[in-house]
Amino acid sequence: PRQPKTCFVPSNSRVLMLLGQLERLNREAMLADAEIGRQITAKILHLIQTQGEKSTKHILGYTMTIYLLEPFWKGQWENNSLHYVNDRCVCVPGGGRRVGVFVSKGGTGILLQLVLSGSKESPPSEELMLQLHSLLAKVGPKDRKFGVKARLNGALNVTVNLLKQNLQNHKLLLPCLQVLRVYSSNSVNAVSLGKNGVLELMFKIIGPYSKKNTSLLKVSLDTLGALLKSKTNARRAVDRAHVPVLLYIYQDWHRNDTRHRHMLIRKGVLGCLKNITNIKLGRKAFIDADGMRILYNTSTECLPVRTLDPLINTSSLIMRKCFPKNRLPLPTIKSVFHHQLPHVPAGGPVAQLYNQPLGVDDVVDESDDNDDVETENDTENEEEDKDHHARNDDIETDINKLRPKETHSRPFEELKIYERFFLELSEDFQVMQDRHPFVSLVESSTSKNLINIVTFHFKTRGGGGGVNRHYRQPPLLAGGVAAQQGGGAEETLAEEWAEEEEGGEGAVLEVPDTALLLPLHDPDLYVEMVKSTRSVPQYSEVAYPDYFGHVAPTFREHILERVYGVQRTKIFQDIERLIHPNDILDKVVYDLDIQSCPVIDDGESLKFNSQFESGNLRKAIQARKFEYDLVLNSDINSNHYHQWFYFEVSGMRVGAPYRFNIINCEKSNSQFNYGMQVLMYSVQEAISGRPRWVRTGTDICYYKNHFSRSSIAAGGQKGKSYYTMTFSMTFNHKDDVCYFAYHYPYTYSTLKMHLQKLEALRTPQIYMRQDILCETLGGNSCPLLTITAMPESTSNDQICQFRNRPLVFLSSRVHPGETNASWVMKGTLEFLMGSSPLAHSLREAYIFKIVPMLNPDGVVNGNHRCSLSGEDLNRQWQSPSPELHPTIYHTKSLLQYLAAIQRAPLVFCDYHGHSRKKNVFMYGCSLKETVWQTNISATSCELHEDLGYRTLPKILSQMAPAFSMASCSFVVERSKEATARVVVWREIGVQRSYTMESTLCGCDQGKYKGLQIGTRELEEMGAQFCVALLRLKRLTSPLELRNHAHLLDVESDLIETRFTSPVLTYVLEDEEHSFMEEVDYSAESGDEPDNDPDAADPHDNRLSDSESNNHRDSLT
């Protein structure tokens, strides 16, 4: 409650002083000194009367107190005084504030005191009790300490006794119940009232449908609901078999309240059930009493009436909570594929996985759903001020960790071997003509790798099989795409093609001619690249989208507006499985856990496949005729991290309403709830000249399901649920083969193809070199690119300028599931190799060192987050292992080498994708901004910091339409201390060290507002990043400053405009607040919409904070 402003006119100071005395009296000894109290009261009243009304607004609350006090001092009670308070304070327009003042001045305490003293008369004056309780019912809810006060002074029992004695006296009953309802919101009171038999009392009042006394009923139900939040009371209710009673009452009201006049009563009954089912016993009682069927049927009947939505939503919430927890239909949650590591890292999740005894059931554990460690929380925490605003306790508070790390752990001799990756720094171009600064990645690696690839072939139908000898010919298609029928220019091509392939059993595809649209794509070259790519499952197939390429559509793809009630509908369909189990097919149609992975081809089911580069689908189960449950594979050598998917579907029926459910998602929320669609690629469309991924799917939503995660998978937390991502889809083409993906795929082979094609763009003015930085655990090469401009001549000046260009170090795709990062990188590379004058200036300005894919193995094997070591590589930068994290180890070494020779890069940026936010934005590192977010005491000299780290993001926000400065953050978080950005900042000393995050979904600002992001926008972002670097160069280069002194001002302007409010720049991860659907929308099914003091379902409620922290952790 707000304190009234103390802006009294001076003449009021005396009033204030007197009030102070009165308050003290009031506090210390209510009755001790009645005479003094009387005198003071008289003085105040006199003063107020003589001063008139003009300043009474501020002291109205005091006045109320005094009017209450006055008769009290006089030792006599008049109901008039209470009426006065009621009339002047409570029942006036805008009375809320007056009540607030009244409460803050101890008004409720006095009223409670009056209740107690009034109860000592025998019999107590009914009129007085009625008045007091009516008043308390109104002012009590405004007093946070009301429950405690009532218990401490004994009023609690007075009210209860009054109730017990007046069950038939409805006039008195109502206000007493209303006050009881307020008492009950305190958890300690709830337990105490439960012991006092109040639960039974409530059950005496509530009952089947009746038109009488509905307001009594309503209050009783609310009170009961509040009492049942206590686990002790919930257990008591279960023990006394109240669950079937509540269900009966609910059904009765549902049947009889045909005109829906008493929705609140029905909701009150549900509220009680909702709270009882927070405990395991309650859920069991609910199931035993056939609660699922009852609530399912009643809800279904309510569906047509929109005003009954709250009932449906609450029913849905209860049913989801009670839905028996299931195990995932898997033998183990460990990845299907296993890669033998050179050594197992000591400790950590991988070690845990490896040390797990054979045969242990890791899908669920015994302890799951074991939430009833029934300790009643008898503290009064909930009465403490809960105003602690969402502080991020992850902010780094150790100032030493925010300072540059001085000690260079590695001697220069050790780093010297990295010299060979920096030929440009010593290049003298004396034999310029002969030097060829390009070492083909492919040439140097294929010979070795090819030997191991013996299984490469395209899938063929019918005879033949095996290796397709003519790579120049398009491959045969898996699902049997027939040559198109009918007329039209597009079909002609296919027909021509079919003619050429005489008698071929399988139709052969026309490769879309995309050479003009996709200069970096070449299907034949792609196949060549695939041959040298090594995957753990030894994939031998090529997915058509990667083969044909993707031509970004020219139409806009809007962020999807969510249809009202989608989630509810989906959940009801899920619940139907339990109610009508006979309708469920449960037919496994794809299963990587079975060695041969049998393909069922009976015409009744879809066919699935994911055994190609970056593919991820572990299992497909046909649940209903047109509904499939899909299970994703864990990252290799891990037992979770599933989010990324990429799989093929064929055998579909045109026009049928398919529903797909990915049932083992892990994150608690997803952009799929905020308008993001899945991506689909149709081979039929591709051969008709539209080779492209399109955003597709309707009725998309993401919600907690009834599959539980073992504590192993949930990082030690018990009984956490998985989430379902569901979408619906109708297919347009007969005999199509379609691919679905989480985001635009970008395989390692695609990268190699792009690099090869980029090489062809090299002109004599471009210096471009490709080195192999290292081999990965899986035997793939990690490319390192160097791009700059050739010196204009071999004169000393030119060579000197060439060697001394500042370095820009870029990396990408450390997280395989963030394919958008690769598309941004493609944009950057294409720009850098371009022929525009800007590109030329940029190459003259900097030497670019680029590691375009930090995690090739993860990408190849369809991981979402990890490398083959089962670890998140972007958490290994502090001490990467050369054996387990070679790409990180060597990339860091390159940077350490640069630091050692005093050539640390001007900018370091690691490209990422963000699954929970919109737009493109950057994370950077700032000592100052971090300190501002914490309570570290640091002297101002320690806080000297150049603000240059803000320049690049600021420039980007001005020129890149997808970029949002408002989403940027420069606060260093503890959980990020081992990420590239923080380590490069702290250990290498790069002030402009960034993570650039691109949305997977779309933009909510700028030119692309309301649109989902596509590869065109992502590539544009990569190009804009380059242009921004050029502008940065103009702003930072000391050489050019002489000519561009005014630009200095521009830079400081850039910084100033943003810098007024540092607090605002700290961005919490909980980005989406506007829920379109009222209930259940956050996918946190078990979460209470209100703040439940002792919500008994710890997985749903208590852990939500740490859960969101986990998400924050996992987002870079």
Name the residues that contact Zn ion, by CB under 5 A: 815, 818, 912
Give the SS3 label for residue 350: helix
Helix (H) or strand (E) holding 892: helix 886-900
Closer by beta carbon to Zn ion, 421 or else 923: 923
Non-local (6+) Cβ contacts of 963 within 8 A are 919, 920, 921, 953, 956, 957, 1006, 1021, 1024
Report residue 157 as tokens: 């029992």
Least CB distance to Zn ion at residue 932 (A): 26
Closer by beta carbon to Zn ion, 922 or else 1027: 922
Least CB distance to Zn ion at residue 1098 (A): 30
Give the SS3 label for residue 1079: coil
d(CA 66, CA 81): 10
C-beta separation of 745 from 681 below 8 A: no
Placement of tokens 């309301």 in the chain: 1010
Locate the DSSP E strands across 871-915: 907-914
Among 829, 748, 814, CA closest to 781: 748
Give the SS3 label for residue 254: helix
As beta bridge partners, residue 597 has: none
d(CA 817, CA 742): 8
d(CA 190, CA 170): 23
**Checking DSSP bridges between strand 737-741 and strand 646-650, what pairing results, if any?**
antiparallel
Q: Where are the alpha helices (DSSP H) in 74-106?
A: 79-85, 95-104
Least CB distance to Zn ion at residue 425 (A): 30
Report residue 678 as tokens: 């899945």
Give the SS3 label for residue 638: coil
> DSSP for 932-954?
HTS-----TTTT---GGGGHHHH
Task: Return the half-sphere exposure (C-beta side, CA atoms, 13 A cut-off) of residue 651.
Answer: 16
CA-only gyration radius of the chain, Å: 35
Among 1071, 1098, 1096, CA closest to 1082: 1071
Residue 332 burial by Cβ neighbours in a 10 Å radius (0-12, 13-18, 19+): middle
d(CA 742, CA 755): 24
d(CA 999, CA 1026): 19
Mark whether 576 is an active-site residue.
no
Phi, psi of 935 (to 5 degrees): -105, 20
Closer by beta carbon to Zn ion, 572 or else 641: 641
Least CB distance to Zn ion at residue 744 (A): 16
Closer by beta carbon to Zn ion, 424 or else 818: 818
Among 775, 771, 765, CA closest to 785: 771
Least CB distance to Zn ion at residue 979 (A): 9
Closer by beta carbon to Zn ion, 849 or else 912: 912
Closer by beta carbon to Zn ion, 913 or else 1086: 913
Closer by beta carbon to Zn ion, 692 or else 912: 912
Distances in Å between the alpha carbon of 352 and those of 356, 357, 719, 1001, 1047? 6, 10, 19, 35, 55
> DSSP for 526-552?
HHHHHHT---TT---B--HHHHH----
Residue of 627, 648, 685, 997 with catalytic role: 997
Instruction: Produce one character per residue of 152-183: b if its CB has 16 or more CB atoms within 10 Å, e if not.
Output: eeebbebbbebbeeeeeeeebbbbbbbbbbbb
**Checking DSSP bridges between strand 907-914 and strand 992-999, what pairing results, if any?**
parallel
Closer by beta carbon to Zn ion, 334 or else 916: 916
Residue 977 burial by Cβ neighbours in a 10 Å radius (0-12, 13-18, 19+): middle
For residue 347, count other CB atoms closer than 10 A to its CB: 8
Non-local (6+) Cβ contacts of 359 within 8 A are none
Closer by beta carbon to Zn ion, 819 or else 893: 819
Least CB distance to Zn ion at residue 997 (A): 7
Helix (H) or strand (E) holding 196: none
Catalytic residues: 997
